[in-house]
Chain A
Amino acid sequence: MKINPRRLLLHIVCVIPALWLFWQIWLWYNFASHELTANPIEYITDFTGDWTIRFLLLTLAITPLARLTKIKSPKYRRAIGLYAFFYGLLHFLNYMVLDYFFDWPLILEDIFKRPAITFGMLAFTMLIPLAVTSIKFIIKKMAANWQKLHRLIYLITVFAVVHNYMMVKADVLIPVIHAMILFGLLGVRVFLSFKKRKRAMKNI
């Protein structure tokens, strides 16, 4: 297998936040000074949540960017989408293991009674089938259904941003920026599909 240097670089960049986090957790575990504040678990929650949303937005940005730069087939979208799942998984595991340590009554109460958590859980749950069906062999097998299933990414990102907005205590600036980027990206898509339809009409 040939190693594509660009792809390698992409992977290195995408794992840097996680590697940094693991390094800091290692320092914390060893009672060394670290950057995770006096409340490391909450810091890990925010950190992994923010990176999940960044990768989700980036995944949605690939296609419009490719169109604008006239690149035919958008590259690396699958890889970046899988990183969104990876950071989402860390976020989820942090909540289940470090934060609540499998305290099921509290976790279930959170999921069913608190809409902010419900949105987050739904977003993560929907990400699982997308990650699983990102294996090349399955993509080929699913053919047209793959595209249909993977349209879930829009709903997932909307839910993730709503979750982000609802979890913040007072300063909603960051979630609002996330929402604005999301609206922008969805807007571009509506615009592009509108243009495509218009062109198709002309050709009739």
Chain B
Amino acid sequence: MLIKTKNAWDISENNVTSEKDYFSRRDFIKAAGLIGAGTAASLSMPGSALSQEKLKTLANEFDGRDIQDEQTDARAILNYNNFYEFGMDKDDPAKNSHTLITEPWTVTVDGHCENRGTFSVEDLIDFNNLQERIYRMRCVEAWSMVIPWVGVSLSEIIKKLKPTSNAKYVYFETLVDKKQMPGQNKGIIKWPYREGLRMDEAMNPLTIMAVGLYGETLSNQNGAPLRLVVPWKYGFKGVKSIVKISFVEKEPNSSWMRLAPHEYGFYANVNPKVPHPRWSQASERRIGDFRRRDTLMYNGYGEMVAHLYDGMDLRRNF
């Protein structure tokens, strides 16, 4: 459970990653990069952590103090990614995503809303109101991480765009550009990568649009400049490098639903009791751990989201 009644005075000292930690981590990463060994080497590439800007965040009720689990090593978060736009292997995004140009960046907004049009990242995100949110991330492949994201509640963006009553779902698309995203030369997925949320899921305070990670601007391999984070759902719902937001009436077909409809559903809520057809979802391996641990219902966020699915058959709506 994340929310906890908090006292105003303990805000700053609970700030997740202290300045000192932050710099020592940077030094550590830099040192590892200079040794040049394997996984750490790609950190010194342009567009990744070392060239990132430090982001200022405000304290918030989701600052992750209740997450007892240790945060995942930044090197793992930066080098172990599923982002097929840059290749199929886990270390491909870190190696290949330097070709992505995130400035300038525009997002097209259309569908059932008042403020349709083309927006810059700054139009959508209030950079004076960023929050750090430490969330568990559970991949459908049964591994997990604890990630300190920086971003804003998606609800804040949605309120700015003023959806009409016909808007029942929000739909997202990733950039399509074979030059910037060399993995798109392979037709694994019918590009663009597509995802969607039901309106109440999108408005839930846990859902964020991330622009940063570990206190810095989001690195390309993690979905810069805008990436969705929905912590009670499997990681693939977190659509990266978003260029399109549509407010739609019908349940959108996500990329994974198109690819294997009997294996991936629209909801994709973390659920240890509903196995993937080819593997169990009852347990997971936290990156950095040796042994598996039990997977939690709704990834441990049930108190905030279980009501969204009252009365639904979760085996059918997987």
Mask of B277-305 contacts with A, CB within 8 angstroms, 1/0: 11110110101101110000000000000
Chain A residues within an 8 Å CB radius of B279: 110, 114, 116-117
CB neighbours of A170 from chain B (8 A): 84, 88, 188-189, 259
Give the CA-CA distance A113 to B271 in the complex, in Å: 18
A100 within 8 A of B: yes
**What is the bound-complex CA distance between A16 and B66, given in angstroms?**
47
CA distance A100 to B283 in the complex (A): 9
Picked from A33, A37, A99, A116, the residue with its CB within 8 Å of the CB of B278 is: A116
Known: A39-B285, A170-B88. A101 touches B291 (CB 8 A): yes
Min CB gap A174→B, angstroms? 10
Q: Distance in Å from the Cβ of A107 to the closest Cβ of chain B?
A: 10
- B67 in contact (CB, < 8 A): no
Chain B residues lying within 8 Å of A171, measured Cβ to Cβ, are: 88, 186, 188
Q: Which of A33, A103, A110 is in CB contact (< 8 Å) with B39?
A: A33
Evaluate contact between B287 and A39: CB separation under 8 angstroms: yes
Which residues of the other chain, A, contact B291 by a CB distance below 8 angstroms? 101
Q: Are A114 and B277 in contact (CB under 8 A)?
A: yes
Known A101-B292, A114-B279: A35·B90 in contact at CB below 8 Å: no
A-B contact count (CB 8 A): 69
By beta carbon, the residue of chain B nearest A43 is: B90
Q: Mark A90-103, 1 if CB is under 8 A from B, else 0.
A: 00000000111101
In the bound complex, what is the Cα–Cα distance between A103 and B37 (angstroms)? 34
Who on chain B is nearest to A24 by CB?
B38
Number of interface residues of B (CB under 8 A): 34
Say yes or no: A166 contacts B278, CB within 8 Å: yes
Instruction: Give bound CA distance, A106 to B76, whole Å.
Output: 27
| Nearest-CB residue, chain B, relative to A114 | B278
The SS class assigned to the B binding surface is loop
A200 within 8 Å of B (CB atoms): no
| Interface: A54 (CB within 8 A) | no
Q: How far is the CB of A172 from chain B (nearest CB, A)?
A: 9
Q: Is A38 within 8 A of B277, CB to CB?
A: no
Of A37, A109, A167, A169, the residue contacting B91 (CB under 8 A) is A37
Q: Mark B297-315, 1 if CB is under 8 A from A, else 0.
A: 0000000000000000000
Given contacts A35-B38, A38-B79, contact A167 B90 (CB under 8 A): no
Give, as a whole number of angstroms, the nearest-CB distance from B6 to chain A: 32
Q: Is the CB of A33 within 8 A of B280?
A: no
Q: 1/0 per position for A73-117, CB-CB distance to B under 8 A?
A: 000000000000000000000000011110100100110011011
B283 and A167 within 8 A (CB): no
**B292 contacts A103, C-beta separation under 8 Å:** yes
Residues of A contacting B91 with CB < 8 Å? 37
Structural contact, A38 and B285, CB atoms closer than 8 A: no
Question: A116–B275 Cα gap in the complex (Å)?
Answer: 14
Does any Cβ of B come within 8 Å of A34's Cβ? yes
Q: Which residues of B contact A101 (CB under 8 A)?
A: 291-292
Residue A61 CB within 8 A of the other chain: no
Say yes or no: is B65 at the interface (Cβ < 8 Å to chain A): no
CA distance A186 to B315 in the complex (A): 42
State whether B80 touches A110 (Cβ < 8 A): no
Kindly list chain B residues whose C-beta atoms are within 8 Å of the C-beta of A110.
279-280
Interchain Cβ contacts under 8 Å between A and B, 10 examples: A34-B37, A35-B39, A38-B76, A38-B79, A38-B90, A39-B143, A100-B292, A106-B283, A113-B275, A171-B88
Can you name 20 extra interface pairs (CB under 8 A) apart from A33-B35, A38-B39?
A: A33-B39, A34-B38, A37-B39, A37-B91, A38-B75, A38-B76, A39-B90, A41-B285, A42-B141, A42-B143, A98-B290, A101-B291, A103-B292, A106-B283, A113-B275, A116-B278, A116-B279, A117-B279, A170-B188, A171-B188
The 10 A-B pairs of least Cβ separation, nearest first, read A33-B37, A38-B76, A38-B80, A171-B88, A35-B38, A116-B278, A38-B287, A33-B38, A170-B188, A37-B90
